[in-house]
Amino acid sequence: MNLTAIPRRLVIASRESRLALWQAHHVRDRLAELHPGCSVEILGMTTRGDRVLDRSLAKIGGKGLFVKELETALEEGRADFAVHSAKDVPMALPGGFSLAAILEREDPRDCLVSSRYESLQALPAGSRVGSSSLRREAQLRERFPGLSVVPVRGNVETRLAKLDRGEFDALLLAAAGLKRLGLAGRIRSFIEPEVSLPAPGQGALAIECRSDRDDVRSLLQSLHHAPTAACVTAERALSRALAGSCQVPLAAHATLQAGRLSLRALVALPDGSQVVRGELQGAPAEAEALGERVAALLRSRGAVAVLAAVDA
């Protein structure tokens, strides 16, 4: 890279939750190692998704509520790029924006947090399990119909505090967030993808910038992790093809082994009474096409009727 093309100062737009700021600091520190001549600052912002906590994401507009204010900062030139949890990034970005880099993935699994029970199987019938996602809720209701799934909003610390106050018997959370916050000790058990398939992009960080910022895009390539990007691209392509949103219990998880990309996915009714699954393999270079193929497979197996019932 031509060193004269490296910006001397960059500003990262980030939500102000502790996890989001950890992610922004992680990117800042990586850039400082790779480009010591570049000064990187963090602009903390509160999004509507952070402010409105008394309703589910599905009812107030979806995960894009965690992104919109950050995009406004990019558009107005107050920040150069934004760091997101990849699973929070809408499947279709607004015109003029693009994902400049996908970082190496942390643990993509869901996990169980409980002070009393070691696993999902150990939870007695009627136990109150807090979940912020329809995806987790649908899979839990399918496999453990005797449990009571209760919506829970707020950042990780808020949810853990509710658990500790006895409002829930257990929580379902993303393992990556707990690990990044130094809270891995709260994890009682990991939930394998066979039981709870992760959300598209779960565990990965995505960096968004304006499409016209070639200088920023070039700099951020040093953080890009191609194997993770292939997996996330396939997952997001599937979700996009099925119009996935917070209103739709949809899961997609890709793995890359021996040069082959394998993508598993499902769509479900929120009560878990109907779940449509599918899996295909393909070349990493054709990740987008693989996602579309698995979406077509799910449609052929009944996903259209499930999606129509969810939207009704």
Residues with catalytic function = 88
CA pair distance 124, 109, nearest whole angstrom: 23
Distances (CA, A) of 247 to 72, 149, 209, 221: 24, 16, 26, 33
According to DSSP, residue 131 is labeled E
SS3 at position 107: coil
Closest CA to 171 of 193, 156, 192: 156
Residue-level length of the chain: 312
CA pair distance 237, 254, nearest whole angstrom: 11
Q: At what angle do helices 226-241 and 287-298 cross, to 10 degrees?
A: 30
The residue written with tokens 């015109």 in the block is 95
Cβ(69)–Cβ(83) below 8 Å: no
